[in-house]
Amino acid sequence: MEELKTIIGENLASLRKEKKLTQAELAEKFNYTDKAVSKWEKGETSPDIETLYALCEFYRVTIDYLTHPGNKEDKTEYVLKDTNFSNKVWQTALTVSIMWMVATIIFIWLFLMHNYIYWQAFIWAVPVSAIALNLMNHRYFHNRLMYFISWSVFIWGVLAGFFFQFISEGLWPLFILGAPAEVTLYLWYRMNKNK
C-alpha cells in the first residue's frame, strides 16, 4: 500500500510540474492546502477517491495512469485525448470577437444617432479583449506565456485608450507608466516560469 501511495505521489508531482503549477496553485483549485498536496506528492497520504477522480479529469489521465510507475511516454494508453481543445480555442476566439462586435455597435450607434465618430471604441476594445483572453486562458489553458501577452496588451491598451480618449500632447507621459508595469510583468513571468 505504501508503494502505491509513492507511485501516485510521484505521478501527481510530475503532472503538476508538467502543467507548470505550484503546489499552492493546485491546492487552491481543489480547495486543499499546499501542505496536503505536498503530502500527496511525497506519498505520505493519498487523496480520497473523489479528489483522485477530479485530479484525473484535470490532468486528462485515467486512474491507471496515477497507479502505474513510469513516465508519460510509457503510459500513453492512460492519457485521455483532449477532444475539446479545438472547441476551447473557438470559444476563446468567439469571446474576443464579441468584444469587437460590441465596439463596432457602439461606433455605429453613436454615428447614426448622434452623428459622432467615436473611433476610440476600437482602441478600448483592445484592453477589453485582453481581459477576455486572460479569463479564457485562466479557464481553459493555464498558459503562462498567454497570461504574459494578454496582460501586456491590457497595460498598453489602457494607456493608449486614455491617451486617445483625451487626445492631448500633454498626456504622452502616460506611456512612461507602461515601462515599469511591463518590467514587473516580465519579472513575474520569469519567476513563475521557473516553478
Residue 1: the pLDDT is: 53
- The pTM score is 0.58
Are 103 and 140 in a shared domain?
A: yes
Which one of 56, 78, 100 terminates a domain? 78
Are 102 and 183 in a shared domain?
A: yes
Are 64 and 99 in a shared domain?
A: no
**Listed residue (67, 57, 60, 58) closest to 1, CA to CA:** 67
Are 110 and 174 in a shared domain?
A: yes
Distance CA 77, CA 73 (A): 9
pLDDT tens by residue, 117-169 = 999 999 999 999 999 999 998 888 888 899 999 999 999 999 999 999 888 77
How many structural domains compose the chain? 2
Chain centre to alpha carbon of residue 100: 21
Residue 89 domain boundaries: 85-193
Question: C-alpha angle 160/95/185, rounded to 5°?
Answer: 45
Statement: residue 194 has pLDDT above 60: no
Are 99 and 68 in a shared domain?
A: no
CATH at residue 20: 1.10.260.40
Are 66 and 23 in a shared domain?
A: yes
> What are the cell numbers at 32?
486543499
Are 94 and 164 in a shared domain?
A: yes
